[in-house]
Every structure is written in C-alpha cells, then in structure tokens.
Homo-oligomer: A and B are copies of this chain.
Amino acid sequence: MKTIKIGSIGLGRLGYEHAKNLATCVPGVQLTAICDIDAARVEAVKQELDVPYGYTDFEEMCKNPELDAVAIVSPSGLHVEHIRTAMEHGKHVFCEKPLATTVEACREAEAIVAAHPDLIFMLGFMRRFDKSYLEAKKKVDNGDIGKVILVRSYTQDSVATIEGTLKFAPHSGGQFLDMCVHDIDLIRWFAGSEVKNLWGIGGVFAYELYRELNDGDNVCVMLQCENEAMGFMFAGRAAAHGSHVETEIIGTKGTLRIAAVPASSHLEVMSEHGVCRECYVDFLERWHDAYVTEMCTFADYIRGIGKPEITAADGTAVSRIAYRCKESFETGKMLPLE
C-alpha cells in the first residue's frame, strides 16, 4: 500500500482535527505538510504532530512535489481559490463543506474540477461516512424500507458550546448555510431525488444576536422533492442535552432512525433524575470516527479504490437549496427551487 502524502490547509478547530487524524489515525497516509496564515500555529502543530513541512502560503505548499493531495479546511470564502491552486498543481483535493459561499462560486468550483478529470475531488460531508448512516443507506438502497416517504433531519449544537457558537455566528453564513447544508445533503442522498419546493421558517428564541444577523437561532425547513418524497429539517443552536444530530427515513415498508438518543457511550446512569443517557458534548466528539473514515476513503480514492460519491455538483446543489431556504426564511414565502 503506497503511502499517500497529504498537505492540509487551515488549523482552526476542524482543521486541527483533520490534521491530527491525518497524522495519527489514517493508515497509509502521511500528513506531510500543513499550512495556515498563523505562522506560530503552524510551527506548534508541526512539532506536535511531527509534520515534515510547514507553510504560511498555500501555493508554496502546493508546489511541494512530495504531496499527492491537499485537504482544504480554510475559511469557506477561500475554498474555490484553494481548489483551483491545488488542482493546477496536480494535487488531489479534499474540500470541507461548503463548496463555496455563493452558488456562482460553487459553479466555478465545479468547472475547475471538471477541467481536471484525472484528479480526485471530494467534498467533506462526513456524516455519510458515519457507521450508522452507512448502514442506513445500505438498507435504503437494498429496499428494506421500501419507497422513501419522509427524511427528517435535525442538527442541534449543545448549549455547552454556545459561547464559541455566538462568536462564530457573524461569519458562519447563517443557520441554513452553516448547519442545514449537512441535512440538505442527507435528504437528497436518502430521498434520491431533487428538491422541488421549500419553505423555511424560524425565530429568535434565546439569543438576540441572531436577530441582528437577520437569522434565527432555531429554524425549520420543509421540502418537497421531485419524486414526492418529503423532507423536514430543524437546526438549533443550543440544545440542553448535547450535540444532537438525528436523521429519520420513513419508508413504505419500514423506518430507520439514527441517533434519536445521541448517547456518547454505552453507559446508562440511574439516579434521582431517572435512567439517563449522557450525550455528545460537541460535533468533534460525535463525528470523530466519521472524520477518520472520510480521510481513509479519500486515500482509497487516490489509490483507485472506489470513486467519490459526492461530487462538486452535489456541493452546488446543496448550496443552491441552502440559499433558497435562507431566501424563503427572509421573505416568508414558500419557494420553488428555481
């Protein structure tokens, strides 16, 4: 098994997670380089994870001939530029969601990817690599639950991380672009159909900051697909019990539910509060294994094992829907996708 050498850009919270995973948990992969505008941070992580090269300039990193691929975990506004640079230097690309911050930019990214058919491009919808979601998808594809009727998907962050959430809020793109994109991806994936109509609503129930941002702290969207399948999403910023991502697929012959109780372990605690399951503290705890599997799969794609299921076009489609949800929320109108 050839060692795949990867350079990673972005050392924020998720960027560091990916870097650490690439350095320590992904068999057959070496984290060969890291890049961030913060030179001190680059140096520190380079030391900690024993990374051969450190950069503050992305293009410089892309010029490193040792690298097979790059992982883009930079701010969303830079994704397209980074995809272009990396591909022009012949690197395979893993790009975190969202593909880009506007639909036009998404289309641009699509074009870049299309122009490099020999390079792997993979978009980071990590939920698809979670054991439970993989198992659910297998059952749906196998016809175990018949025809898909409704996909319901929730994304709730924990109140335990609200401070960071609020700090990030002005730069997040809002609930629909930041949180709902994952649920939109899942709804399309499980329903196997394009969205036709949607209506987004929401409100400011606890954190006034979101009103200033013309956003809600809790929002819902209902979607209607071309094939009549239905979708429902809920995104919330501050669940009392923890990080709660739940997806349900109701079919004509059965129903699948993932993480209705987002228990962080097999432990049950019986106390004066009843019989309790403690839940995931944050998304990093919830998705650790999925992030690792995602990168293992990326390496496999590079080795020629399998092909990316999530294309740049999916990234565009998801972003289009997310923007349309936002528009629906802002105008109060039910909207067709077009």
> How distant is the Cα of A145 from the Cα of B139 in the complex, in angstroms?
27
A265 / chain B contacts, CB cutoff of 8 Å: 131-132, 135
> How distant is the Cα of A204 from the Cα of B317 in the complex, in angstroms?
26
> How distant is the Cα of A222 from the Cα of B221 in the complex, in angstroms?
8
A242 / chain B contacts, CB cutoff of 8 Å: 274
Which B residue's beta carbon lies closest to that of A50?
B1
**Residue A167 interfacial (CB < 8 Å):** no
> How distant is the Cα of A256 from the Cα of B277 in the complex, in angstroms?
10
Which B residue's beta carbon lies closest to that of A23?
B27
Q: Which of B24, B201, B240 contacts A270 (CB 8 A)?
A: B240
From known contacts A146-B206, A267-B258, infer whether A201 and B224 are also in contact, taking CB-CB under 8 Å. Answer: yes
Classify the secondary structure of A's interface with B.
Answer: mixed
Assembly stoichiometry (copies): 4
Q: Which of B147, B205, B261 contacts A149 (CB 8 A)?
A: B205
A131 / chain B contacts, CB cutoff of 8 Å: 264-266
Are A241 and B1 neighbours in the complex by a CB distance under 8 Å? no
Q: Write the A192-222 contact mask toward B (1 if CB under 8 angstroms, else 0).
A: 0000010101111110000000000010101
A1 / chain B contacts, CB cutoff of 8 Å: 48, 50
The smallest beta-carbon distance between A268 and chain B, in angstroms, is 4
Q: Which of B24, B147, B279 contacts A205 (CB 8 A)?
A: B147
Are B206 and A252 neighbours in the complex by a CB distance under 8 Å? yes
A313-338 CB contacts (< 8 Å) to partner B: 332-334
A47-81 CB contacts (< 8 Å) to partner B: 48, 50
Which range contains the number of A residues in contact with the other chain? 35 or more
Are B269 and A279 neighbours in the complex by a CB distance under 8 Å? no
Which B residue's beta carbon lies closest to that of A242?
B274
Task: Show 8 A/B contacts (Cβ-Cβ < 8 Å), sorted by A.
Answer: A25-B25, A131-B266, A132-B265, A135-B267, A145-B271, A146-B205, A255-B271, A333-B334
Question: Taking beta carbons and an 8 Å cutoff, which residues of A are in contact with B?
Answer: 1, 23-25, 27-28, 48, 50, 130-132, 135-136, 139, 144-147, 149-150, 152, 197, 199, 201-206, 218, 220, 222, 224, 228-230, 232, 234, 236, 238-242, 244, 250, 252-279, 332-334
Given A144-B271, A202-B230, 5 extra CB contacts under 8 A: A24-B27, A254-B272, A255-B271, A270-B279, A276-B276
